[in-house]
């Protein structure tokens, strides 16, 4: 393994370890705030954080396999498995956002405002694009399909956080209960496209 490639690989391991640590905190805070506020958007944001956490753990495993000198065939098998895991997790997120939003709108389940949810969403809006940028820099060298899917999920987290800021903020300030669900459904259009691309990448890896 070339020295320059090995350095980038170690950087990839570090950035994924940071992702895992961040997502543990973010998911606990967001889900807790979402449950207390009865907010589908906040809960979905927390659920997305759990997906990003699981994806980060899976990708960290894949990178460590290669960093520890795993043979090429083993790395490729791990790569394919992690890519499929990422695609499935994104699909589950789409289903959750769609069903939760429809049920909330039909039953007129009015969420409460959540200052804690706004704080964690704001932190994610700032941090996630920077984290995705760093992952892209790493992946210029690694050229990993699994890491590309993980970057999508990191950006999804940023978009989720932005939608959460808008939806929860409007509800908190103006008491527009439906804004929570509308913001989640708007986000779904982008999320479905990214999920389709992740599924195609998983199929190509399996071919």
**How is the chain classified by DSSP, letter by letter?**
--HHHHHHHHHHHHHHHHHHHHHHHHHHHHHHHHHHHT-HHHHHHHHHHHHHHHHHHHHHHHHHHHHTT--HHHHHHHHHHHHHHHHHHHHHHHHHHHHHHHHHHHHT--PPP-HHHHHHHHHHHHHHHHHHHHHHHHHHHH--HHHHHHHHHHHHHHHHHHHHHHHHHHHHHH--THHHHHHHHHHHHHHHHHHHHHHHHHHHHH-
Domains of the chain: 3-206 (1.20.1510)
**The predicted structure's pLDDT at residue 205:** 66
Q: Pull the structure tokens for residue 155.
A: 């950006």
Residue 94's region, left for phi above 0, alpha for psi from -120 to 50, else beta, is alpha
**The predicted structure's pLDDT at residue 206:** 64
| Stated pTM of the model | 0.76
CA distance 100 to 181: 8
**The predicted structure's pLDDT at residue 80:** 77
**The predicted structure's pLDDT at residue 1:** 56
198, 147, 207, 111: which is closest to 19 by C-alpha?
147
Q: What parts of the chain have a pLDDT lower than 50? A: none
Q: Pull the structure tokens for residue 74.
A: 């083993």
Cβ neighbours of residue 45 closer than 8 Å, sequence gap 6 or more: 30, 34, 117, 121, 124, 157, 160, 161, 163, 164
**The predicted structure's pLDDT at residue 207:** 60
């Amino acid at each position: 393994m070339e020295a320059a490639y090995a350095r980038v690989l170690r950087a990839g391991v570090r950035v994924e370890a940071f992702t895992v640590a961040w997502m543990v905190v973010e998911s606990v805070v967001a889900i807790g705030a979402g449950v207390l506020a009865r907010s589908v958007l906040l809960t979905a944001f927390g659920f997305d954080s759990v997906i990003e956490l699981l994806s980060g753990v899976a990708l960290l495993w894949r990178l460590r396999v290669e960093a520890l000198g795993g043979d090429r065939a083993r790395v490729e098998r791990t790569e394919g498995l992690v890519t499929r895991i990422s695609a499935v997790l994104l699909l589950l997120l789409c289903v959750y956002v769609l069903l939760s939003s429809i049920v909330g709108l039909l039953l007129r389940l009015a969420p409460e405002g959540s200052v804690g949810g706004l704080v964690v969403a704001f932190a994610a809006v700032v941090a996630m694009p920077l984290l995705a940028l760093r992952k892209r820099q790493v992946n210029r060298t690694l050229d990993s399909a699994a890491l590309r899917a993980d970057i999508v999920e990191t950006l999804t987290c940023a978009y989720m956080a932005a939608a959460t800021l808008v939806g929860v903020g409007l509800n908190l300030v103006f008491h527009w209960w439906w804004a929570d669900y509308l913001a989640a459904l708007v986000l779904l259009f982008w999320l479905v496209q990214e999920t389709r691309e992740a599924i195609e990448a998983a199929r190509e890896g399996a071919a």
